[in-house]
Amino acid sequence: MQRRICEHMLPLIAPTAWVIDDVSLPKNRKISVGVAPQYCGALGERANCQVAVSVHAAPDTASCPLQWRLFLPRSWEEDNDRRTSTRVPSEVTHREKWRLALDMLDTLAEWDMRPPAVVADAAYGTNAHFRAVSGVVRRGVRSFGARGAALVPRGPGGAGFGGRAGPPAPAGAVGAGILWPGPSSAA
């Protein structure tokens, strides 16, 4: 189903970039899968929440989710009681967010979908594994950008979709994510 949605939506919205970002859901209790004290972007601080990693197709005016994965914190790996009560299969284990992002790019590539460019927040952009030969470079991404605050397309008035509004985007930027040529775009 996800593939069919992607096949239908990508030509319609003609994205200028794919945005990799975390989506956080604050939680009051600990009974939902993946809930743990961790940075919660929705609140701007460390809190009890679930976090999902997502890849969105983004033109200048909107965003369409292409892929998403629920992040399972390391604390869940050995908490058999919580895993059993929430029915988390034993084969599902902790996986770093940057690896989840690469997994999603791989899935989309298997569906013959390629990003025009990729933007992500600083947590991804400063991660050498994500950027380097094992990451986006190996996957043939021609442009990659990272930024410290919110990395989502700007709406009217500068507000982002799902993030805090940052400073105005400079010339050459796509939405709130700054793009620069990646290694394979020099040719």
Integer Cα distance of 134 and 115 in angstroms: 17
Give the model confidence (pLDDT) of 23-66 as tens digits.
999 999 888 999 999 999 899 999 999 999 999 999 888 888 99
From the number of C-beta atoms within 10 Å of its C-beta (0-12, 13-18, 19+), residue 177 rates as buried
In this prediction, residue 162 carries a pLDDT of 37
Task: Give the closest residue to 136 by CA, choosing from 148, 120, 122.
Answer: 120
The predicted pLDDT at position 146 comes to 63
State both tokens at 146. Answer: 């990272």
What confidence score (pLDDT) does residue 43 get? 93
CA max distance for the chain: 54
Give the separation between CA 131 and CA 135, rounded to whole angstroms. Answer: 5
Q: What is the pTM (predicted TM-score) of this model?
A: 0.74
d(CA 71, CA 63): 21
What is the per-residue pLDDT for 97? 93
Write out the DSSP string of 55-78.
Answer: EEEE-SS--EEEEEEE---GGGTT
C-alpha of 123 from chain center: 10
Give one DSSP letter per residue of 101-147, joined into a string.
Answer: HHHHHHHHHHTT---S-EEEEHHHHT-HHHHSTTTTTTTT-SEEEEE
185 band by pLDDT with thresholds 50, 70 and 90: very low
Using CA atoms, how far apart are residues 149 and 121, in angstroms rounded to an integer? Answer: 7
Task: Name the pLDDT band for 177 (thresholds 50, 70, 90).
Answer: very low
pLDDT (0 to 100) of residue 47: 94
* Spans of all domains in the chain: 2-185
CA nearest neighbour of 143 among 118, 175, 169:
118
What are the tokens at 135? 């990451």
Q: pLDDT tens, 72-83?
A: 999 998 899 999
For 116-174, how does the pLDDT look when each residue is reduced to its tens digit (9 = 90+)? 888 888 788 777 777 775 577 677 676 666 655 333 333 344 333 333 333 333 333 33
